[in-house]
Chains A and B, each alone.
Chain A
Amino acid sequence: MANLAAVVGIGQTKYMTKRTDVSIAGLVREAALKALQDADLTWDDIDAVIIGKAPDMFEGVVMPEAYLTDALGCNGKPMLRVHTAGSVGGSTALVAASHVQSGTFKRVLTVAFEKQSESNAMWALSNAQPFSTHLNAGAGGYFAPIIREYMRRSNAPYNVGIKVAMKDRLHGARNPLAHLQKPDITMKEVEESFMLWDPIRFLESCPSSDGACAMVIANEELAEKSPKPPAWIRGVAMRSEPTMYAGREMVNPQAGRDCAADVYKQAGVTDPRRDFDCAEVYVPFSWYEPMWLENLGFAPEGEGWKLTMEGATSLDEGGDIPWNCSGGVLSSNPIGASGMIRFAEAARQVRGDAGAHQVEGAKLALGHAYGGGAQFFSMWVVGSQKS
């Protein structure tokens, strides 16, 4: 059995289009320092640093952990760099947790970041390869046909995505760190925004953000002594499947279903809609909320959109299972950090420390990230109690 571990400190930068006031090192240090302050710790209290980000081409720095060690107080310590596509923020948190859950370290710092303003993500994701088909589509172009297939299968009304886009931005307006601040957004405004990749409209897409997220993860003994409530890590899971193979279920990927089943089993979750108080799920394009509601077992197949339309996932409508109270990826998207933000926001909820987007009395929360062409998944379950 894994040793108990818990999140004892969380730090995030403000998410915005361009952080021209800080270097890459300054950005990660800002989040890391906030996490240390939150845990009432200093650099000397940290045994190892685990860092994650999406492709190096997003900033144009090869393996930037070598350069960032000074900013993260890591000199003389172990530094590990994780990269698992868009799920990397989540995977990085899991690898960091494994440093403690394995009994190898007492307390580690983990940081994930992206400074997308340094480069052009669309370009970095789409450069031609000598041995592969050139899609030149970016993420939205890749996911649009998969969403269309979901709409066809489920017979969902056309405006489900529009509802998600509005709902997550209203959530984001409660979170001062969220990149997009749209407290007055309406479904009409979303519907009238221009079509990017049919059926994905501009306002149904995530922004491109600069930002970093950091967490301090400690073992049971140290977590119990921590000044603020710990978020106990109750389950961890990762799954990968190939990008393309004959018969791949792209709308409801097997890797996502297997990953959820694994992490639920560890946490004793049998009915996710009932057992969780809230979830932070990687939804970069609006329609991925109903799709993941089904993939993660919150709704039967073909019925995820009903939860969205009923308001079950909305904090503002008093839903029973609010999703992405922080505003989610639709409100802030520093790609490499986005997964860790989900994991950290789930932890904030069960620590009772989520400010204006707190779900009252949240005790158990899911953090979720996916990446690539939805073939990489990482998830964790955090709770206010150890078991």
Chain B
Amino acid sequence: MKDIAIVAYQQSDSVSDAGAVNEVELIMPVLARTFEQAGLNSAQDVDFVCSGSCDYLQGAAFAFVSGVDALGAVPPIKESHVEMDAAWALYESMLKIRMGHADSALIYGFGKSSPGDLPTVLSQQLDPYYLAPLWVDSISLAALQARLMLDKGLITERDMAEVVSRSRRNAMNNPHAQLSGDISVEDVLAEETFLSPLRKADCSPISDGASAMIIATVDQAKAWGLPYVVISGIDHCIETHNLGMRDLTDSVSTRMAANHAGMNAGKVDVAELYAPFSHQELILTRALGLDKETQVNPSGGVLAGNLMMASGLSRIGEVFNRIVKGEAQRGIAHATSGPCLQHNLVTVLEKGENA
């Protein structure tokens, strides 16, 4: 199987409200920077394009259709779309390259969450007969999960506050972050609870934005003369939708995906985890068995800005950035989808030549 590598990654600033900017306008500047980074002109210069978005964020059928307008798809291009986080668009693109129908691919994800009430919108992702009619929102479900962790003595509120404090401090070095600052554990704990036991700081903010990536076979990356980071493994796994039938204090599917992706074949210098709530970072860190050797969410993670449908891809992009900068040799990125970490994807990234 051909080795596949990332050669470019860009994301927009994570903002609470992009205003009158539409989806195409969110995507275009990010794509322009991504092409520039790779020394390419447009989507015509890659063999395949795949995106991730969600119709319900835009409140319209076929949200991704307008996205094609950002690509310069004349003459026509080979293009596909997943109604998932763009990390899964990366997955689809890898299959396309592995089967020999492409040597390079552009992947992008975008979401404009600000016009709607995101936690309520996500309540309609639940079983439409038994759960969705209750309009249980995503924060309430996460709060139940956090309560379970606390009641079992698996974590303390201080542990959660430490995650928040570290995220905000790390985000001070992330120019795209929405929330950052020198906030102590005590500062977080002093905050009132929002949906007990969660404080607002325990929850990722509502964000608008986009991110994009270009991948290629290692041969193509070398031909382009670009520094690259090899995707040495990628896998994903879904669990039951029925929350009562899952151990919500663990993430079995994350562990399975990591094992299949070969995470344990070497040292993990850095991990970017898609944990929309502070306690979920603790669940993921433990499920993966990460220790102090691994720096977790140096970007601040999604607690510093959560680009729905792009955050999973951004986690992979953040690890790419660390490795290209020489801050890490090997890292993993995690993406999630569904209520309480139902569906998880793990990517293993390793330093290539020139990176």
Instruction: Enumerate chain A interface residues (CB-CB to B < 8 A).
Output: 1-3, 23-24, 54-70, 74-85, 91, 95, 98-99, 101-104, 124-125, 127, 129-132, 236-243, 245, 254-255, 258-259, 372, 375-376
Contact of B77 with A56 in the complex, beta carbons under 8 Å: no
Using known A-B contacts A2-B100, A80-B91, determine if residue A242 contacts B74 with beta carbons closer than 8 Å. Answer: yes
Tell me, yes or no, whether B61 is within 8 Å of chain A by CB: yes
Across the interface, name the chain A residue whose C-beta is closest to B1.
A103
Is there contact, CB below 8 Å, between B125 and A63? yes
Q: Does A102 contact B99, Cβ atoms closer than 8 Å?
A: yes
A315→B59 CA distance, assembly (Å): 43
Are A238 and B95 interface neighbours, CB within 8 A? no
Q: With the chains together, A252 CA to B6 CA distance in Å? A: 37
Among the listed B82, B128, B240, which residue makes an inter-chain contact with A61, where contact means beta carbons less than 8 Å apart?
B128
Select which of A55, A95, A98, A254 is within 8 A of B75 by beta carbon: A254
Across the interface, which residues of B come within 8 angstroms of A132, CB to CB? 66
Q: Which of B310-355 contact A (CB under 8 A)?
A: 337-339, 342-343
Is the beta-carbon distance between A83 and B76 smaller than 8 angstroms?
no
Interface pair A81/B61, CB less than 8 Å apart: no
| Chain B window 94-119, contacts with chain A (Cβ cutoff 8 Å), 1 for yes, 0 for no | 11101111000000000000000000
Q: Which of B54, B55, B81, B239 contacts A82 (CB 8 A)?
A: B81
Minimal beta-carbon separation of B142 from chain A (angstroms): 15
Q: Could you tell me if B84 and A2 are in contact, using CB atoms closer than 8 angstroms?
A: no
Query: Of all chain A residues, which has the CB nearest B131?
Result: A67
Give the Cβ gap from B201 to chain A, nearest Cβ, in Å.
26
Check if A69 sits within 8 Å of B240, measured CB to CB: yes
Nearest B residue to A82 via CB reads B82
Chain A residues near B121: list those with CB within 8 A: 62
Residue of A nearest to B58 (CB): A129
Q: Chain B: interface residue count, which band?
A: 35 or more
Q: Is B219 an interface residue (CB 8 A)?
A: no
**Residue pair B60, A76 in contact (C-beta under 8 Å):** no
A127 to B84 alpha-carbon distance, docked (Å)? 22
Interface string of B114-147 (1 = CB under 8 A from A): 0000000110111111001000000000000000
Contacts of B22 in A (CB 8 A): 130-131
Closest chain A CB from B105 CB (angstroms): 12
Q: Are A242 and B69 in contact (CB under 8 A)?
A: yes
Question: Nearest chain-A residue to B129 (Cβ)?
Answer: A23
Chain A contacts for B65, CB-based, 8 A: 85, 243, 372, 375
Are A240 and B241 in contact (CB-based, < 8 A)? no
B237 touches A127 (CB 8 A): no
Which residue of A57, A75, A85, A129 has the most chain B CB atoms within 10 A of its CB atom?
A: A75
Contact B256 A238 (CB under 8 A): no
CB neighbours (8 Å) of A130 from chain B are 22
B70 to chain A: closest residue by CB: A242
Known: A23-B129, A61-B132, A239-B77. 9 other contacts (CB 8 A): A59-B128, A62-B56, A67-B125, A80-B82, A102-B98, A241-B74, A242-B74, A243-B66, A375-B65
**Other-chain residue from A69, A74, A242 in contact with B68 (beta carbon distance below 8 A):** A242
Query: B59 to chain A: which residues have CB within 8 Å?
Result: 127
The 8 Å CB contact of A80, one of B55, B58, B84, B252, is: B84
Closest 10 CB pairs of A and B: A55-B61, A102-B98, A255-B76, A240-B79, A66-B338, A83-B83, A102-B99, A62-B125, A241-B76, A131-B22
Cβ-defined contact, A75 with B80, below 8 A? no
Q: By the criterion CB–CB under 8 Å, are A2 and B99 in contact?
A: yes
Please tell me if the beta carbons of B337 and A243 are within 8 angstroms of each other in the complex. Answer: no
- Distance in angstroms between the alpha carbons of A339 and B323 in the assembled complex: 42
Contact B75–A258 (Cβ < 8 Å): yes
Chain B proximity of A360: nearest CB distance (Å): 33
Shortest CB-to-CB span from A108 to chain B, Å, is 11
Q: Pick the contact of B128 from A60, A238, A245 — CB < 8 Å?
A: A60
Q: Is the pair B95, A95 in contact by a Cβ cutoff of 8 Å?
A: yes
The reply to whether A78 and B236 contact each other, CB–CB distance below 8 Å, is yes
Cross-chain contact A66 with B343 (CB below 8 angstroms): yes
CB under 8 Å from chain A, chain B span 175-199: none
**A78 touching B235 by the CB < 8 A rule?**
yes
Q: Is B154 an interface residue (CB 8 A)?
A: no
B124 is contacted by which of A61, A240, A255 (Cβ under 8 Å)? A61
12 cross-chain CB contacts under 8 A:
A60-B124, A64-B125, A66-B342, A70-B240, A76-B238, A78-B235, A82-B83, A82-B92, A98-B99, A101-B95, A241-B75, A254-B76
A372 CA to B1 CA, complexed, in Å: 35
Q: Is B228 in contact with chain A by the CB < 8 A criterion? A: no
CA–CA, A69 and B60, complex, Å: 25
Task: Identify the interface centre among A23, A80, A124: most chain B CB within 10 Å of its CB.
Answer: A80
Contact between chains at A98 and B95 (CB < 8 Å): yes
CB distance from B307 to the nearest CB of A (A): 16
B73 touches A242 (CB 8 A): yes
Bound together, the chains give a CA A132 to CA B64 distance in angstroms of 14
Partner of A62, one of B1, B95, B124: B124
Other-chain contact of B76, A57, A98, A99, A240 (Cβ < 8 Å): A240
Tell me, in angstroms, the Cα distance from A83 to B240 when the chains sit together: 22
- With known contacts A79-B238, A127-B61, A241-B76, A84–B81 Cβ distance under 8 A: yes
> Nearest Cβ in chain B — how far from A82, in angstroms?
6
Contact A75 B240 (CB under 8 A): yes
Q: Are A80 and B88 neighbours in the complex by a CB distance under 8 Å?
A: yes
- B122–chain A nearest beta-carbon distance, Å: 7
Chain A residue numbers with a CB within 8 Å of B84 are: 63, 65, 80-81
In the complex, A2→B97 CA distance in Å? 10
Question: In the complex, are the beta carbons of A125 and B95 less than 8 A apart?
Answer: no
- Taken residue by residue from 215 to 241, chain B's Cβ proximity to chain A (1 for < 8 Å, 0 otherwise) reads as 000000000000000000001111111
How far is B79's CA from A243's CA once the two chains are assembled, in angstroms? 14
Q: Which A-chain residue is minimally distant from B77 (CB atoms)?
A: A240
Give the residue name and chain of the B residue nearest to A71 (CB): B241
Say yes or no: B241 contacts A66, CB within 8 Å.
Answer: yes
What's the least CB distance linking B24 to chain A, in Å?
Answer: 8
Cα separation A239 to B128 with both chains bound (whole Å): 33
Rounded to whole angstroms, the CA-CA distance of A125 and B235 in the bound complex is 34
